[in-house]
């Protein structure tokens, strides 16, 4: 999800099921955008703010998949959000065999 805080509120939310490209599930401006952001925050989802990315995503229709040109940036954002939640691939281990991340830290 992405938003621009200093202008009229706008938001786009994406869904990714791991099998297909992420797609737009909701988008809106003004009060609707604020509701989308509030719902995401209440659900513990990462809210990413990037005006340029928002412009690209806002041009998509609900249900439409992100274009291939955005795959890498969206993948990086998703990976970052997973790490913030303490989720990471099981094979991530240090040379000594311990886990790469200490989720209790």
Alpha carbon distances (Å) from 84 to 48, 54, 57, 80, 96: 12, 21, 23, 6, 23
Q: In this predicted structure, what is the pLDDT of residue 90?
A: 73
Give me the domain span that covers residue 15: 2-67
Rounded Cα distance, 32 and 79, in Å? 27
Note whether residue 41 is domain-resident. Answer: yes
Note whether residue 17 is domain-resident. Answer: yes
Mean per-residue pLDDT of the chain = 87
Let me know the angle formed at the C-alpha of 8 by 42 and 50, rounded to the nearest 5 degrees: 65
Q: In this predicted structure, what is the pLDDT of residue 7?
A: 60
Q: What is the pTM of this model?
A: 0.75
Residue where the block lists tokens 């040109």: 69
Q: In this predicted structure, what is the pLDDT of residue 1?
A: 57
Q: In this predicted structure, what is the pLDDT of residue 97?
A: 72
Note whether residue 90 is domain-resident. Answer: no
Q: In this predicted structure, what is the pLDDT of residue 103?
A: 56
Note whether residue 82 is domain-resident. Answer: no
Q: In this predicted structure, what is the pLDDT of residue 92?
A: 73
Count of domains observed in the chain: 1
Block mean pLDDT (10 aa), the chain, length 105 = 64 94 96 96 94 96 97 94 82 71 56
Q: In this predicted structure, what is the pLDDT of residue 68?
A: 97
Tokens for 50?
A: 């990037």
Note whether residue 27 is domain-resident. Answer: yes
CATH of the domain at 35: 3.40.1690.10
């Amino acid at each position: 999800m992405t938003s621009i805080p200093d202008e009229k509120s706008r938001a786009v939310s994406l869904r990714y099921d791991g099998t297909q490209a992420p797609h737009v599930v909701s988008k809106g401006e003004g009060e609707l955008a604020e509701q989308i952001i509030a719902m995401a925050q209440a659900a513990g989802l990462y809210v990413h703010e990037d005006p340029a990315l928002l412009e690209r995503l806002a041009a998509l229709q609900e249900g439409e998949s992100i274009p291939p040109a955005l795959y890498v940036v969206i993948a990086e954002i998703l990976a970052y959000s997973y790490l913030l939640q303490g989720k990471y691939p099981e094979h991530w281990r240090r040379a000594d065999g311990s886990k790469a991340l200490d989720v209790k830290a």
